Amino acid sequence: MPHSFCHFLLAAIVAAGALQRAQAQPPATTAETAATAPGTESPATVDHHLSNDSTAQQILAVLQNSGQNLRDFQASVSMEEMDNLTGAIRQRSGTVWYARSDDGAVRMRLTFDKLTDDRGTVNRRIEYLLKDGWLIDRDYSSRIEVARQVLKPGQTTDLLKLGEGPFPLPIGQDPAEVNKLFEVSTLPAQQDVEPDQLSQVQDTVRLVLVPRPDTQFQNDFASIDVWVNLQSRFPQRIMTSSQSSVQTTVLTELKINQSIAEDRFNLDDISADNWNRRSEPFSQ
């Protein structure tokens, strides 16, 4: 699966889980217990309030208690990737649409239409569509389309579930499971953030996940940082660090549960155009 879309799914579904919380009822005042991994301190009772003093376990508890009523969302998205070897930075910007059916099936479309690098900003359209168990990857400049079947026909495995899929997400997850796979901590929201990016972390708390040794995520990520807004309790910035690169995704202009027309999940018809198209059925 394309690395950029893997990263985007991580960011978008993190946001999706927390956006459910934003649409849910006001938080209960009853304290709940946050689970911790063996060897960590016994957790304190937690509520659903976030502040600059919230602990990592309190943040996990808030994220776990995300509501279950998310049907759809759309947002403007910016994704920046920095190459750790060369220091080169590329940024793409566009729009994401996400919808979940009553049966749990997820549809997601990501359209990038702008590319910015050291040469400036140009129109460069690429699209990803996740639908009906297939991931379609299109590059309109090179006229190449690759359709990959990421689920077997009839398969219902959740690719986004912690421990089952490739995307390590703390949203909606049992804190005990998160703690089994990651060292979980917090950092000051503004630490090591570039001055021109400080607005991206305003009024947030920062959760840091570091894969534990011998877990499936150890070779994919060095760390995952999630900035969660104090008021709305949803992530507004997600940064994943690996050996080769650092990718940062920012979601803005979020619209939640306002219904998305089904045609948003239909790509343009290119059957009459001169495209190089390839299909890759599911393989173990």
List the structure tokens of 171. 């949203």
Q: What is the pTM of this model?
A: 0.77
- Over residues 245-253, mean pLDDT: 88
**Highest-confidence range of 28-32, 39-43, 178-182, 215-219, by mean pLDDT?**
178-182
List the structure tokens of 6. 């893997």
**Highest-confidence range of 109-118, 168-177, 216-225, by mean pLDDT?**
109-118
What is the tens place of the pLDDT at every residue in 33-80?
344 444 444 444 545 688 999 999 999 888 776 545 667 888 898 999
What is the tens place of the pLDDT at every residue in 137-155?
999 999 999 999 987 777 6
Q: Can you give the CATH number for the domain in which 244 is found?
A: 2.50.20.10
CA distances from 107 to 1, 199, 237 (A): 16, 30, 22
Q: Does residue 168 have a pLDDT over 60? A: no
Q: What angle do CA 159, 160, 165 make, to 5 degrees?
A: 50
- Give the number of other Cβ atoms within 10 Å of residue 189's Cβ: 20
List the structure tokens of 37. 């991994």
- Amino acid, res. 29: T
The structural domain count of the chain equals: 1
For 145, the domain range is 3-280
- Give the number of other Cβ atoms within 10 Å of residue 154's Cβ: 6
